Structure 1
Amino acid sequence: MATKLTARQQQILDLIRSEIQRTGFPPTRAEIAQALGFRSPNAAEDHLRALARKGAITLTAGASRGIRLVEPAAASSTPGLAAAAAEALSLVLPIVGRVAAGSPILAAEHIEREIGVEPTLFNPTPDYLLRVRGLSMRDAGILEGDLLAVRKTPEARPGQIVVARIGDEVTVKRLQRQGKLVQLLPENPDFAPITVRPGDDFAIEGIAVGLIRSTPLQ
């Protein structure tokens, strides 16, 4: 970390480190604001963004505890700090449950909780975990209750598994394009493909980059 921190930034960095050592997770913006006497979490957010610009931390969009320390060199030379750094390098992702009609996927009311995962588990790095509903992607190994790791992006290649919004509905399907027509293909013969025509209310919300099985194998 080459850029010098202000006294307040160092105070926030120390708070993040101590919370990771104490609980295993970084603090939320609200917890930082409360601990340091800020009037609102927005003030904490401003300081966190400054720390991110200086390379002291990285931030994960949409996750209230999406803060990771970037201090591998310092941790390796300081007794007791290596374990804290290892905890900090876990990726904290929000779990998105049922999505209300017409509202953003990462709206606060959709987030069930947040969990830490090993950062090297997925490539590219996901932005959230979507709880799978139904069995339309069964033959791709995506089952009811699984957590689909999703990278936010409005673009996808044909053949990729995507999270798509059609009108007020959000669905997981395999993307296919035929000229100007877009098809969303299930991986289960019991379900019919969805054809998206020009003018339809359609958007790609993200691409699947991995899966966490949350139910036991049968």
Structure 2
Amino acid sequence: MSIKLTDRQQQILDLIREAVVNTGFPPTRAEIAQTLGFKSANAAEDHLRALARKGVIELTAGASRGIRLTEAAADFFGDTDINPERVRSQPTPLSAPTAAPGMGQVLLPLIGRVAAGFPMLATENIEREIQVDPNMFTQTPDYLLKVKGLSMRDIGILDGDLLAVKKTNVARNGQIVVARIDDEVTVKRLNQQGSRIELLPENTDFEPIIVTADQDFSIEGIALGLIRSTPLQ
């Protein structure tokens, strides 16, 4: 291959790959700095820009997780966790505006306001169905959830966005999940330490949600990526 990476650049590329595989989303600059022992996130930013110049990642300005592996990155992985096909189908960075596809191969229900006491995919919760190209995501979503509020703003999940969700009742620590607490449904990052469950926002204006023993808590699904229907300006 004509592209050469330094040992540190390879280390960061591997870290990005592991985050995408394990959580579905790339790491933040601060997470890279903390993991690799950098004094500041600026050092991580310098290495990311170097990787972008070499064509193995793409960066989205103004997004803390706006990092996307390119097809060229697959040449630098010695295992099969990410191959060229998987790189092609990874989700768009969450803050990158993406037009909702007009035609697709999968018809997904769009969940708007969630009616208390009803399952996510109950008729009462479905606004309409949208055709989506399944190749946009690493897995085929089961439904789209209309995001309400700005508690996940710092990773680019904005009010009105459509979150592609895989229906499941289990999730790995650190994944973005759709969770139900009693009759309320929320999108947050899962942080589970033993029996303690926290749902973390990605916006410093919001406080973490700590699930108490007397609350009815369940995982409704994991986020696979995002569709934004706002036209590009």
What is the TM-score with the length of structure 1 in the denominator? 0.58
The 5-angstrom pairing of residues 155-194 of structure 1 reads 155-194=170-209
Structure 2 CA distance, aligned partners of 1:104 and 1:133? Answer: 18
Alpha carbons of 1:90 and 1:188: their partners in 2 closer, same or farther (altered >3 Å)? Answer: same
Structure 1 CA distance, aligned partners of 2:215 and 2:112? Answer: 25
Match of 2:113 among 98, 105, 109: 98
Structure 2 CA distance, aligned partners of 1:158 and 1:217? Answer: 34
In structure 2, the residue matched to 1:195 is: 210
**Would the aligned equivalents of 2:161 and 2:227 in 1 still touch at CA under 8 Å?**
yes
RCO greater where, 1 or 2, for CA within 8 Å and sep 6 or more? 2
What is the TM-score with the length of structure 2 in the denominator? 0.54
Structure 1 CA distance, aligned partners of 2:232 and 2:200? Answer: 25
Match of 1:129 among 144, 148, 155: 144
How far did residue 115 of structure 1 move? 1.2
The 5-angstrom pairing of residues 6-85 of structure 1 reads none
In structure 2, the residue matched to 1:146 is: 161
Match of 1:205 among 220, 224, 231: 220
In structure 1, the residue matched to 2:130 is: 115
Unaligned runs of 5+ in 1: 1-87
**Would the aligned equivalents of 1:132 and 1:143 in 2 still touch at CA under 8 Å?**
yes
Alpha carbons of 1:145 and 1:198: their partners in 2 closer, same or farther (altered >3 Å)? Answer: same
How many residues are aligned here? 132
Structure 1 CA distance, aligned partners of 2:162 and 2:104? Answer: 21
Structure 2 CA distance, aligned partners of 1:142 and 1:165? Answer: 18
How far did residue 200 of structure 1 move? 2.2
What are the Cα deviations for residues 141-200 of structure 1, in whole angstroms up to 9, with x where unaligned?
100000000000000001000000001100000000122100000000111100013342
Give the residue type in structure 2 aligned to 1:192: E
Over the residues paired in the alignment, what is the CA RMSD in angstroms?
1.8
Q: What percentage of residue pairs aligned between the two structures are identical? A: 69
Structure with larger Rg: 1
Structure 1 CA distance, aligned partners of 2:104 and 2:113? Answer: 28
Unaligned runs of 5+ in 2: 1-102
